[in-house]
A and B are shown apart, each in its own frame.
Chain A
């Protein structure tokens, strides 16, 4: 690769300087030209080929971006991709334990080995494309730590495999078995209004959730759906654990208040009917109102008690 748009995104001098900063061991035989190509690929991935900062026209922006990269990890990925055995040995020694550990945490003990080994093969570059060995390292752009990127690859593969195996749209259906342990008292004394109340309830909640700020919705999803701990949510969102807890509580309180307001004011339910909505929602678990929502069956209940 000589250029992206007919001119260099990364000057060779800058690539040499960044390579020096990466402190790649001489045994990796990594030269500035190779690193220049890797850096340019990273810049194009970040900014797109059309808007990547020009080495001459926008040197400051380009420099700021490249300085923010994990250069040591990027150099290791570059050397491994080039097939340097010393770099590969270093990678195996450095990341093999972490890779297997992450695989065990993600896929469990039984599938961990298979998951990690398949990744090893792709990292090493067993596949060839147009006569050239294609390594998965080419997709590492240095914007994160190499270990984090490996975990992301593992997680993506595991989730994809899981979805394929389940042949379902949503991984979250796995929770159904657990959730079905909730009492289903509704079946014993069916209320003709039950389904209608549930549809109304679900519609109100969906509207309230759609109006939430993305951060609040994401926090709720991490907590209720992914069942992360407060500390894990805080790590993902860059918040203190106590802040996560406080914001979750506030959001949940607001959601409940807004759902109640929607039921009382918009749907014109009485207090008793609203309580029934909550009761049915709690008892009939799980209930699938998706079809009801899609059919637009959310209709208001007319009169108050």
Chain B
């Protein structure tokens, strides 16, 4: 909900007039409520503010307050007067100096953040010299968490696509790709209900730190796909048609020309990265580790001008964690270069604040809507179609069962580590777990905060990322959580 300030500042578009009218009407009409004669005493108002009334009393008095401007005004004055920061501002303007103990760590933190941000900004915003190439930036020196994610349920996109790749990709193509390229995405023609939806913004906003990740050149790969497969996009090959029906897979096809240019681009990026690496005199692995630690999921998509009539799409996505890396939708065809940044959990500036956190939550939400989470060793699929709902398919998408977990919950993403185990996290400390696909257990969260990513190995071991970048892990199915700062 936009704030009043935002409403006042930005609600000027013509189609906002009804909204503005409604806002004004609401303000006026609600203010017109006449004071009641039987207003509760101050001790009741105080108990209401302290949440000390029982449920029946709360309901009864809220009914009164909803119709009594007099009581509402008192409550508003009370809650304003109870704000501690207001007291500090008004009572002693220099009172903050009394708490100088935080100065040293704060300045040290700011200095570290500045150094990291300068380095990352320098690395991240180098122009991408490529055209017609989709790249990803996995690193050989993958942090343990990333490895865990790769092996865990959040990599279900990868596993699903790996299966699809095995079935759809010709032997020639598969032999040209090293086995270790687990994060490569191959085009899986998608159809079904998800095709009707708009492409995932996250999938369309891939980010690649081509200049900043020298080691990325090693993994820069354009997965070639036969022209016949690319040409027949939208018609799935028979073996994979059933499984890919309705699946928004994390990849897209590539044309032969695209593949060729992709390899050319790879070489160019390699050379450029090597030059930059030499200039910086920084060990490759060290820099890679920094990038890996700071940027959880970043890919880039560059769509360049193609020959007329040969608009072929090519994209690859990297989702080392797999949890918030949204399942990619077929990219809209574009003749213009498009380099957009996905919302990272860890900003390049190193000072992720509320605004950025909201972006992470928003992107996680958008991704979850379009995403299917499949069990790696079972035909169980899940998806999170709407607020509070989860849909479960025990037969790989043939049939879906919809279940409302909590109408007030916003489910952001999930992880299917195996079997019929599925973890879901969401806003305001929402964590759910099922071990059989149907019976859900609400897990006590470590904090009442938005969780934007999850990786899981099984029903007991999981790692969740909060919007403030804290990472919590559990080894006992969510009974206890331990914080692990990335």
Q: Which residues of A contact B (CB under 8 A)?
A: 45, 68, 97-98, 101-106, 109, 139-141, 143-145, 148-149, 151-156, 158-159, 163, 169-172, 175, 179, 182, 201-202, 205-206, 209, 214-215, 217-218, 220-228, 230, 232, 235-236, 238, 240, 242-246, 248-249, 252, 255-256, 259-260, 275, 278-279, 281-282, 285-287, 290
Q: How far is the CB of B452 from chain A (nearest CB, A)?
A: 13
CB of B80 within 8 A of CB of A232, answer yes
Q: B52 at interface (Cβ–Cβ under 8 A)?
A: yes
Given contacts A144-B50, A236-B49, contact A218 B65 (CB under 8 A): yes
Given contacts A152-B43, A248-B1, contact A238 B51 (CB under 8 A): yes
Task: List the A side residues contacting B34 at CB < 8 Å.
Answer: 169-170
Q: Give B19-61 as 1s and 0s: 1 = Cβ < 8 Å from A's Cβ atoms.
A: 1111111111111111100000111111111111100000100
Task: List the B side residues contacting A98 at CB < 8 Å.
Answer: 87
- Taken together as a complex, chains A and B put the C-alpha atoms of A223 and B30 apart, in Å, by 10
Of B21, B30, B63, B70, the contact of A224 (CB 8 Å cutoff)? B30
CB of A227 within 8 A of CB of B4, answer yes
CB of B66 within 8 A of CB of A148, answer no
Q: A105-B90, A148-B82, A235-B79 are in contact. List 13 more A-B contacts (CB 8 A).
A: A105-B81, A141-B43, A171-B70, A172-B31, A214-B62, A225-B27, A252-B1, A252-B23, A275-B18, A278-B21, A279-B17, A282-B20, A282-B21
Task: List the A side residues contacting B27 at CB < 8 Å.
Answer: 175, 179, 224-225
Task: List the B side residues contacting A221 at CB < 8 Å.
Answer: 30-31, 33, 66, 69, 72
CB of A220 within 8 A of CB of B30, answer yes
CB of B24 within 8 A of CB of A281, answer yes
Of B23, B74, B81, the contact of A102 (CB 8 Å cutoff)? B81
**Number of interface residues, chain B, beta carbon within 8 A:** 65
CB of A278 within 8 A of CB of B23, answer no
Of A103, A151, A223, A281, the contact of B82 (CB 8 Å cutoff)? A151
- Taken together as a complex, chains A and B put the C-alpha atoms of A114 and B59 apart, in Å, by 35
Q: Which residue of A lies closest to B26 (CB)?
A: A224
Task: List the A side residues contacting B46 at CB < 8 Å.
Answer: 143-145, 148-149, 151-152
CB of A156 within 8 A of CB of B43, answer no
Of A155, A175, A206, A209, the contact of B78 (CB 8 Å cutoff)? A155
CB of A218 within 8 A of CB of B62, answer yes
CB of B76 within 8 A of CB of A139, answer no
CB of A170 within 8 A of CB of B21, answer no
- A-B pairs with beta carbons under 8 Å apart, 29 shown: A45-B43, A68-B52, A105-B81, A105-B86, A143-B47, A148-B50, A148-B78, A155-B74, A156-B42, A159-B73, A163-B70, A171-B70, A215-B66, A217-B30, A221-B72, A224-B31, A225-B27, A232-B79, A240-B448, A242-B428, A244-B1, A252-B22, A252-B23, A278-B17, A278-B18, A279-B17, A281-B21, A282-B21, A282-B24
Q: How far is the CB of A73 from chain B (nearest CB, A)?
A: 11
Q: How far is the CB of B433 from chain A (nearest CB, A)?
A: 21
Task: Report B59-117 residues with CB < 8 Å from chain A CB.
Answer: 59, 62-63, 65-67, 69-70, 72-83, 86-87, 90-91
Q: How far is the CB of A269 from chain B (nearest CB, A)?
A: 14
Q: Give B170-213 as 1s and 0s: 1 = Cβ < 8 Å from A's Cβ atoms.
A: 00000000000000000000000000000000000000000000
- Taken together as a complex, chains A and B put the C-alpha atoms of A282 and B44 apart, in Å, by 38
- Taken together as a complex, chains A and B put the C-alpha atoms of A246 and B427 apart, in Å, by 12
Of A149, A217, A248, A259, the contact of B22 (CB 8 Å cutoff)? A259
- Taken together as a complex, chains A and B put the C-alpha atoms of A202 and B42 apart, in Å, by 33
- Chain B CB within 10 A, most for which of A45, A145, A226, A246: A226
Q: Which residue of B lies closest to A206 (CB)?
A: B29
- Chain A CB within 10 A, most for which of B31, B81, B87: B81
CB of A155 within 8 A of CB of B51, answer no
Q: How far is the CB of A16 from chain B (nearest CB, A)?
A: 24
Q: How far is the CB of B343 from chain A (nearest CB, A)?
A: 17
Q: Which residue of A lies closest to B25 (CB)?
A: A205
Q: Which residue of B lies closest to A107 (CB)?
A: B77
CB of A151 within 8 A of CB of B448, answer no
Task: List the A side residues contacting B67 at CB < 8 Å.
Answer: 214, 217
Task: List the B side residues contacting A153 at CB < 8 Å.
Answer: 42
Q: B10 at interface (Cβ–Cβ under 8 A)?
A: no
Going nearest first, the 8 A-B pairs with the smallest beta carbon separation are: A144-B46, A152-B42, A172-B31, A226-B76, A249-B1, A155-B77, A105-B81, A282-B21
Q: B228 at interface (Cβ–Cβ under 8 A)?
A: no
Q: B281 at interface (Cβ–Cβ under 8 A)?
A: no
Q: B408 at interface (Cβ–Cβ under 8 A)?
A: yes
Q: Which residue of A lies closest to B65 (CB)?
A: A218
Q: Which residue of A lies closest to B49 (CB)?
A: A148
